[in-house]
Amino acid sequence: MTKHNIIIIARCNVDKDMELYQLLYSKSYEIHKKANIYIMPDVEPFNNLLVNCKDDFQFSLLVHVGATGETTKYDGQLIIEQLKQLPYYSNLNYELTSRKGKYVEGFGDVVYTLDLLHPTFDPSVLKSNILANVMSEAEAMLRPSDDSAIKTEAPLSTVNLDFVIQTALYEHEFAVYKSKCKLDSAHGVYNSYNALFKEKIQLAHGVDYESNFLVVHQEQMGLVDAAIHSTQVISLHDPTFVIMSGVCGGRKGQVNQYDVIIPTTVYDYATGKFKEGKLESLEYEASVRKELTKFLIAHNDKIVHNMRSLIDEDRKDLLSKDFKIVIDEFACGPWVVKTEGFLNKMAGEELTKYSTEEENKMFLESIPVNKINEKIKGLEMESYSILRAGEVIQKPNHYSLVVKSVMDFTNEYKNDGQFKEIKSSASYISFLCVRAMMPLLLDFKNNIEKWKK
């Protein structure tokens, strides 16, 4: 009897995931009598297999989404997005399974559900998921042309864009754009998508943006990926605006939860040297160009009015009457901060109104970061890279911008609420702000010289 080939792409991020690996590698597992099992941690080795295997190699591809235990569905979705970037993806069907073979909501491309771990499972019920000509087509696409030069360029539709929107994470921050936009995978930058808003909405000021734009999510959060992705999109797509959309920590007493902070200057607080147990920051900084800051301050109220036009009816309570857009200074570093008062200390603020004198003294001595700037209103982990990339590349008609909604006050309450909705709500508010300002920024683009005066 010819054995069926089953390829499983399954990440192993937590201990409970090891149970799947241990079972599938066990020689006593009954399925080995019926099928050859190939387990891969991500898409890259799967891609290598396709490029090198024989044309008649037949198999079923399963994606283990980690839908139970401690692993989130993010891993499964990320694998699917990576698969979609393969040149032969359109010739593949993939199937999803959780640890117990249950149907997983939220994945529209599910074609089959099975209980792979059941001892009576028969691999013959799986369809052959590689078409006969997939490898010859793939090899033709990957083979250099006769002139021995491989030409790579971004599609014309994504050159000289008005906007590129960048998020630090897929979950929540990118997810809101996915829910509100039609997306197609783009070339040139990893995790990039051509985007178009699904519906046009009447705004209080200007006309809702109707053209294509690019949305990019980083592979990992933080300064490094932010710098790489923003540099790539500026170099390859030459957009007028690169806007970082997402969430941040806010300075208690200065901003409210869900307020939006648009940084004028961002301080890198973590680059420096330790001296006698204290970090002496080099106080690197990157700034938004002055003409754009001037424009945003003048149009602050209009942006808020547009946000109120755009917000979904069932989420209007997120924009309270006290909601505001704060255009001020910001801090950026390599850590997720879960220490309330951290920002206040960096701003040089007396903390006694939040704690006793003794607690205040202990706190000041425990955090090895001295005062950075008294104007700081928020902090997160990417903004410095976004603005710095624009400064270094120095394209005359390019503008980098950061739009972050306050999720917490640098404390541990980052995913609370009845339905753990705070991060997703802050991501949604940031999205509203970006969309609300897009038509106004087009007016700025057409009248830049006016704002330079």
**Mean pLDDT, range 248-253, rounded to an integer:** 88
**Mean pLDDT, range 179-192, rounded to an integer:** 87
Question: Residue 314: phi, psi to the nearest 5?
Answer: -80, 5
Neighbouring residues of 177: CB distance < 8 A, sequence distance ≥ 6: 165, 167, 183, 195, 215, 245, 431
Q: Are 141 and 92 in contact (CB under 8 A)?
A: no
pLDDT digits (tens, 9 = 90+) for 270-312: 888 877 777 777 878 999 999 999 999 999 999 999 999 999 9
**Mean pLDDT, range 123-139, rounded to an integer:** 45
Q: For 16-20, 319-323, 399-403, 432-436, which range has the lowest pLDDT when averaged over its residues?
A: 16-20
Q: Domains of the chain (ranges plus CATH)?
A: 4-142 (no CATH), 156-452 (3.40.50.1580)
Distances (CA, A) of 405 to 244, 247, 256, 287: 11, 5, 10, 19
The pLDDT score that the predictor gives to residue 18 is 64
Among candidate residues 291, 297, 249, 283, the one with its CA nearest the CA of residue 384: 283
The pLDDT score that the predictor gives to residue 49 is 79
The region that residue 414 occupies, defined by phi over 0 for left and psi between -120 and 50 for alpha, beta otherwise, is alpha
The pLDDT score that the predictor gives to residue 133 is 36
Higher pLDDT, 60 or 383: 383
What are the structure tokens assigned to 231, written together? 């540099």
Higher pLDDT, 151 or 126: 126
**Mean pLDDT, range 45-60, rounded to an integer:** 75
Higher pLDDT, 387 or 159: 387
**Mean pLDDT, range 226-236, rounded to an integer:** 91
What are the structure tokens assigned to 387, written together? 């603005």
Mean pLDDT of the chain: 77
Higher pLDDT, 424 or 276: 424
**Distance, CA of 395 to CA of 449 (rounded, Å):** 16
Confidence bin at 15 (pLDDT 50/70/90):
low
**Is the pLDDT confidence value at 417 over 90?**
no
Count the neighbouring beta carbons within 10 Å of the beta carbon of residue 183: 18
**Distance, CA of 350 to CA of 345 (rounded, Å):** 7
